[in-house]
């Protein structure tokens, strides 16, 4: 039996009483002060709004440890729970976030964890989503004995710390692999710095070795965000894959260069049949390149440097045709493409796998958090539809 089991069996085996939030803490909303962005003086103190730090200012109105809960604006998560922030030290809070501090019999850290489990969707009203002060103060909180609160906080804080450490490690791993890929890509594709024999590499303009052709315009309503039976053809625009359409205007394994906007010059690789819009340039090799080598070569060329100035930066086909590129022997191209494709595959796998792993760890934390808090409130482990139950409980108790 765990320490938490022992405490619950000893101190609250039949569940616990619920209190209104305002009876569990000190609500400091009346001391908040909004300051317009123009009137703020830059400084060192965090300026908090509905969903966290909005700015840093030269003065503060609170000094201590607090929990902030979004009042209006971005005040609800995808799970239907409040936006909750932990804040310490000297801070300024505007009128878009409720602010509370702890009392002697209810730990503030316990409230921080519990409030994040409350379903508040039925309580959010208005064109601009708002959790009113009245509804906020009336939120129902199960209050176990202090010893139980402390053990719950210890478990959840440890879990939170481990999740944060894992997230940092996974993020660092992804960053390191991307840097490693970029290092080898730059080294392998910088021919004049590699000591290659001059006869191994010939420099040509892109227009000499490739045919560059902009795609065709297509109405936005014809592009689906998701791939369906009807719209199964990838559609490429200025920033890569834009969506899916029902017909194609290009085919084959070819690099595509985005030619419009601040990110113009970005390169993606298309295979099979696809549609290229007028904001994408399809690069077709004239028989000089391994297609994957050509893709890596264009990525490394930093084509964005050739964009035109102005409010809407762009790349013309004429300018791209003038860009000089190295053309090594096919044997060299094949070898380089193979190495870089292997690195690219590793980075892609990490880019998919690591964020998924981070999300899974966060869900795992939320799963056990909800289970622990339900156990503390009822003496029973209830895991299914926890958020729905919390929502029902709040609605029933405030009715």
Return the pLDDT at 192.
Answer: 65
One domain, residues 306 and 210? yes
Residue 312: per-residue pLDDT: 82
- 274-289 pLDDT, tens digit each: 999 999 999 999 999 9
pLDDT of residue 383: 42
Q: What's the mean per-residue pLDDT of the chain?
A: 87
Does the residue 8 lie in any domain? no
Q: Are 324 and 347 members of one domain?
A: no
**Domain CATH code at residue 31:** 3.90.220.20
End-to-end CA distance of the chain: 38
Q: Which of 328, 346, 376 is the last residue of a domain?
A: 328
CA-to-CA distance for 209 and 290, rounded, in angstroms? 12
Among 298, 328, 358, residue at a domain's last position: 328
Beta-carbon contacts of residue 242 (< 8 Å; ≥ 6 apart): 223, 235, 236, 277
CB contact at 8 A, 277 and 235: yes
Question: Which candidate, 367, 318, 84, 291, places its Cα nearest to that of 207?
Answer: 318
Q: What is the pLDDT of residue 377?
A: 66
Same domain, 259 and 156: no
Domain containing 366 equals 146-189+337-392
Q: How many domains does the chain divide into?
A: 3
Q: Which residues of the chain have pLDDT under 50?
A: 1, 193-198, 381-399
**Whether 163 and 255 share a structural domain:** no
Is position 11 within any domain? no
> Nearest-CA neighbor of 151 among 365, 380, 375?
375
Q: Is residue 12 part of a domain?
A: no
Q: Are the C-beta atoms of 223 and 349 separated by less than 8 Å?
A: no
Q: Are residues 179 and 212 in the same domain?
A: no
322 and 359 fall within a common domain: no
| pLDDT at position 379 | 60
State which of 275, 293, 328 marks the end of a domain. 328
Please compute, for residue 395, the number of CA atoms within 13 A of its CA located in the half-sphere on the CB side: 12
Do 220 and 261 touch, CB atoms closer than 8 A?
no
Instruction: Provide the greatest CA pair distance for the chain.
Output: 85
């Amino acid at each position: 039996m765990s320490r938490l089991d022992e405490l619950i069996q000893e101190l609250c085996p039949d569940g616990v009483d619920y209190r209104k939030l305002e009876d569990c803490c000190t609500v400091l909303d009346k001391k908040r002060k909004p300051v317009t962005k123009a009137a703020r003086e830059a400084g060192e103190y965090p300026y908090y709004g509905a969903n966290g730090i909005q700015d840093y200012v030269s003065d503060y109105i609170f000094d201590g440890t607090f929990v902030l809960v979004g009042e209006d604006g971005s005040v609800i998560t995808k799970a239907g729970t409040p936006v909750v922030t932990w804040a310490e030290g000297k801070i300024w809070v505007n009128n878009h976030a409720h602010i509370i501090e702890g009392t002697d019999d209810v730990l503030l850290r316990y409230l921080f964890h519990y409030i994040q489990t409350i379903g508040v969707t039925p309580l959010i009203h208005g064109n601009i989503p708002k959790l009113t002060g009245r509804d906020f103060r009336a939120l129902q909180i199960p209050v176990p004995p202090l010893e139980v609160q402390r053990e719950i906080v210890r478990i959840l804080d440890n879990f939170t710390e481990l999740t944060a450490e894992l997230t940092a490690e996974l993020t660092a791993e992804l960053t390191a692999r991307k840097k490693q890929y970029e290092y080898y890509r730059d080294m392998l594709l910088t021919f004049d710095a590699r000591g290659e024999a001059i006869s191994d590499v010939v420099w040509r303009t892109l227009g000499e070795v490739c045919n560059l052709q902009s795609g065709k315009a297509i109405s936005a309503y014809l592009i689906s965000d998701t791939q369906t039976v009807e719209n199964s053809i990838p559609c490429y625009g200025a920033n890569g894959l834009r969506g899916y359409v029902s017909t194609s205007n290009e085919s084959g394994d070819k690099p595509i260069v985005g030619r419009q906007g601040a990110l113009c010059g970005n390169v993606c690789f298309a295979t099979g049949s696809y549609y290229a819009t007028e904001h994408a340039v399809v690069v077709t090799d004239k028989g000089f390149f391994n297609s994957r080598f050509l893709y890596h070569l264009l990525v490394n060329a930093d084509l964005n440097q050739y964009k035109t100035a102005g409010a809407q930066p762009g790349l013309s086909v004429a300018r791209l045709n003038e860009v000089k590129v190295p053309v090594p022997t096919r044997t060299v191209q094949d070898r380089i493409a193979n190495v870089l494709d292997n690195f690219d595959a590793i980075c892609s796998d990490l880019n998919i796998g690591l964020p998924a792993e981070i999300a899974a760890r966060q869900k795992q934390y939320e799963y056990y958090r909800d289970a622990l808090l339900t156990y503390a409130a009822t003496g029973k482990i209830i895991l299914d539809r926890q958020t729905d139950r919390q929502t029902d409980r709040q609605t029933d108790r405030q009715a």
